[in-house]
Structure 1
Amino acid sequence: MASSNFIDYVKINARSGNGGAGSMHFRREKHVEKGGPDGGDGGRGGHVILKGNAQLWTLLHLKYTKHVKAFDGKGGEGGRRTGAIGKDIILEVPLGTIAKNAETGEQLFEITEDGQEMILLRGGRGGMGNDHFKSATNQTPQYAQPGEPGKEEWFILELKVLADVGLVGFPNAGKSTLLSVVSAAKPEIADYPFTTLVPNLGVVPYRDYKSFVMADIPGIIEGASQGKGLGLRFLRHIERNSILLFLVPATSEDIEAEYQTLVQELRLYNPQLLDKSRILAISKMDVLSDEERLTLQDNLPNGIPALLISAITQEGVEQLKDKIWELINSPFPVR
C-alpha cells in the first residue's frame, strides 16, 4: 500500500435533508361540496449514512469530500398522499472506522462489519398534513405542519487498522523489513527514524494455504501517549490488533528496558491494550557474533515468549509465524 494513498483521518461537513411540509388540502369531489381535510404528510429528509465495506482499506476516497448533503423530502399532497422521502447519502468506509463529533470529540459509533449501516446525521421529519388536526370542534383545520429542517454538523472519521498482528517498536526496529519478508507488502525501508509514516498492511501466507494480516504501525517513541513524535495519531491503530508483536533490535543497549518502555507507552495510552496476547521478537540477529548471542540470552525479559529472528537470513521467521498462528487461535491471551 503506497504511503501517499493511505488516509486514516478525514473531517467532513454533513447536512441532512429537510423534511417535506404537510399538505393543507380538502377533499373536493363531484356532488361533495365540503369534503373533509385530506392533506398528506411530508416525506422525511434524507439521512447521511456510513456503510462498512470490507474491500476498502483507507479513507482516501473521502479526502476531498469536505461537504456532504442529503436530499430534501417532498411535500405531502391531497388524498392523504405522503410526500416522497428525501434520498439518503451513503458513504462507504473501511471496517474499523470511527465517527466522532468534531466539536466535542465524542465518539458516536464504530463500523466493524461489512454492510453495517449507521446513521451519521438524521434527516428532518416530514410535517403532518391537516388531516391529523381535525376534531369534533374543528372539522376544517386550516393548518398543516412545516417540515422539520435538516441538521448540519462537522464530523471526524478516523480509521483503526484491522489486522491480526500489530508490530510495535521504536523507529528502526526492523518492522518494515520483517513485513516485506513475510508478506507481499512493499513498505518504504531506510535507516532513519519514522520511515514508516502510515500503517502498512501485509497478508502473511501460512501453512496449508492459511494466512493472517500483519500491520506495520509507525514506530513510537517515549512520550507517544502524550502526543510526542508521531504520537496518538498512530497508537490508535494498535487497538484493533488481536496480537501485539514487540520488535526490539539485537543491537539495543538494554533489550528489557526498551521493551518495558514500549509497554509503558501502551499502558498510558490505553491499559486495555495490555490484555492482548504479546510476543517479543529480537530482530537483526544476523549482526551478532556467537559470543554476543550467548550474552543476549541472559538479558531477555521474563514472562513473555521471546524469539530470535533475522529478516535478512530468515533465521527464526518460520518459528515466529508458528507462534503467531498459535496465539491467533488460542482462546486465552498470552502475556
Structure 2
Amino acid sequence: MDEKASYKDAGVDIDQANLFIKRILPLIKLTSRKEVMNSIGGFGGLFHLDLKKIKDPVLVASTDGVGTKIKIAQMMNKHDTVGIDLVAMSVNDIVVQGAEPLFFLDYIAIGHMDVERNVQLIEGVVAGCQEAGCSLIGGETAEMPGIYAKDEYDLAGFCIGVVENGKIIDGSDIHVGDLVIGIASNGIHSNGYSLVRNVLFEKAGLNVLDHLEGIENSLGEELLRPTRIYVKPILNLIKNFNVKGIVHITGGGFFDNIPRIVPRQCCTAIKKASWPVPPIFNRIQEIGNIEEDEMFRVFNMGIGMMLVVSEKEAGDIMERLNMLGEKAYIIGSIEKAAPEQSSVSLI
C-alpha cells in the first residue's frame, strides 16, 4: 500500500497533453477572425457578434462527427483529412439554411495521447475551418484509457453560424415547376462507411492498398477523400440569386434528406442519368450486390449538395457555379405529388 499512484500511471499523461496544446496553438491562429476575442486556453471561447453587419440575427447551431470513416484513417495511419470531414459535416448543415459559419469547436476522445497523430487531426480541422471561413475558438481532447483502446479515437464537432431572420432558407417558397441543381461531391464524403467496410473489407476481403477497376487511387486513398465544403460557393449564390431550398446529402442519402425541405404536397423527381456517378459507388454496388434504392438511401452518389431554384434563374445559377469552379448539373424538378406517391422518385 506504500506504492505511490499517479495520473500518468493510470494512463493519462498531462505533460504530453500540454505539449500537444503548445504544438497546435500556431495552427489555430490561422483560423482567427476579427470577432475572436481570446486565444485558446481559457474556460470558453469568446466571439463578438458584429451587429452592424446584420440587423436581426438568428444563430444556427450544428453538431456532427465523422462516423466509422475514422476506421479507414486508422487503417491507413493517415489522420490529416478526417478533421476536414469533421468541419464539413457541420458547416455544410449550417450553410443550407443561408447562414454563415462563424466559429467551430472540436472534441477529440482518445485512448492514449499520441501528440503527432493528434496534431495531424487538428491540421485537418484547421484546413476545414479555413475553407469554411470560420474560426476554431476552442476544443477538448479527452484521454480516456479504459474507454478507448490505445490507438483508438473519435471526433465530434460543433459549429455556430448566423443568418438574417428574413433570409433563412427553409424551402417554404418551393413550388411545382422549380428545378433541382446538383453540385458534385468528392466521393463518399462521410456517410455510409459501415456499409462500405462491410462490403469491401469484411465480405470481399480487400485491404486499403488494393486497387479497384476504374479508380486510379488505392482503395484507402479513395475512401479517405475529404468531404467537400460548400460554404463559399453557397454564400456567393444566395447573395446574388433567390435560392429557395438547399439540401446537404448526408446520412439518409436522397430519400431522407430531400423531404426535409420540400413541401409535403410536392414530389421531387430526380433524373438518375443527369450526372456522372463516381466509379467508387458502382464498384461498391457491384461487389456488395446492393439494390439501387439502397444505394440512393445510404450514399450521396456523386451529388453532395442540391439547390432548388426557379426555372427562370436556373441557367444563370449554373453559369455562376461553373465560374466558381463547381461541377453542377440540373438533376431534377419539383412536381405535384400524386396520392400515395413517394416524396422522392428516381426516373
Q: TM-score, normalised by structure 2?
A: 0.22
Q: TM-score, normalised by structure 1?
A: 0.22
